[in-house]
Amino acid sequence: MKSLPLIVTSLLIVASLQARENPFMPTKAYDDEVARLMEIDQNYPAEFMEKNQDIELEDMTPILHEGDVNKPLPSAVAKSEEEMKKEQMEKEAQIKKEQMLQEALKKVEAAKKEAAKAKMEKAKAVAKAKELEERGPVIYVKPRPEEMTAQDEPKMQDDMQMEVKSLKVLPFLTVEYSDDKMTLNTKYKIMKKFYLEDEKKLIVDFKGNVSFFTKKLDLDSTNFKQLVAGNHKEDQFFRVVILVEDMPSNYDISFDDSLVYIVSK
């Protein structure tokens, strides 16, 4: 009888243990989930079942050939060619720039030499003009009749023919002339010379940016009748026109740095 209470107590304990959820035994939730998965597996399309797949997979591994080893990418080659082309263009541009610089230096040197030469010629012309101005016009003095002899008469006639007259037409233009010769003296360089046959005019143009009013002078000479000096300031030159007695083609015109010579043939 003493063991009866012990047995009852053991039965109560076993009953209570069975009432608790055993963590190592499947639960109802677990059984429901297994049943659901089995139902899905049975209804899943056959073409998606791994056991029915018969698919050939393509090997996507790139194949390397012997010539492809160390071969640069096309983009890298294009970039290299573009850089080489750019470098070549820059080199050509630099060479062209240096050539233009050399040409410019040569032009500067030539301009300097020309300016120095023009300066020397101008100084020479100014000195010559000053010398003529200081010398003044040549005056012929006729001998008195009582002093003349038979031998002096032909000489006097020759001297009269060679009598030279001087006129200062402009501050920078002096004219000396006789019956058959004329000299134009100016510091400005001659541009061109020509004549008008029908009008019997000899024409000489001088380069110079000057300003003056037209001057017209009658000349006391057998061959040279009149002289006109006109200004062409806009074109930076002035003109000397000489009216002659004979046809203009019968006169020779020559010149040097600052003098123009006109001689009747």
- CATH number of domain containing 218: 2.60.40
Give the residue carrying structure tokens 């008469």: 153
Average of per-residue pLDDT across 153-178: 77
Distance CA 30, CA 61 (A): 45
* pLDDT of res. 137: 45
Q: What is the mean pLDDT of the chain?
A: 76
Give the residue carrying structure tokens 């510091």: 187
Q: Is residue 67 part of a domain?
A: no
Residue range of the domain that includes 129 = 113-143+162-265
Rounded percentage of the chain residues whose pLDDT exceeds 70 = 58
* pLDDT of res. 122: 81
Average of per-residue pLDDT across 255-263: 88
Q: Is residue 227 part of a domain?
A: yes
Res 5 pLDDT > 70: no
Q: Is residue 62 part of a domain?
A: no
* pLDDT of res. 258: 77
The beta strand positions in the chain, using DSSP E, are 165-170, 173-177, 181-186, 190-196, 201-207, 215-218, 224-232, 237-244, 251-255, 259-264
Of 63-77, 132-146, 155-169, 216-230, the one with minimum mean pLDDT is 132-146
* Number of domains into which the chain is organized: 1
* pLDDT of res. 163: 81
Q: Is residue 169 part of a domain?
A: yes
* pLDDT of res. 123: 82
Q: Is residue 225 part of a domain?
A: yes
Higher per-residue confidence, 209 vs 258: 209
Task: Give per-residue pLDDT as tens, 95-137.
Answer: 999 999 999 999 999 999 888 888 888 888 777 766 655 554 4
Whether the CB-CB separation of 247 and 196 falls below 8 Å is answered with no
Q: Is residue 6 part of a domain?
A: no
Q: Is residue 58 part of a domain?
A: no
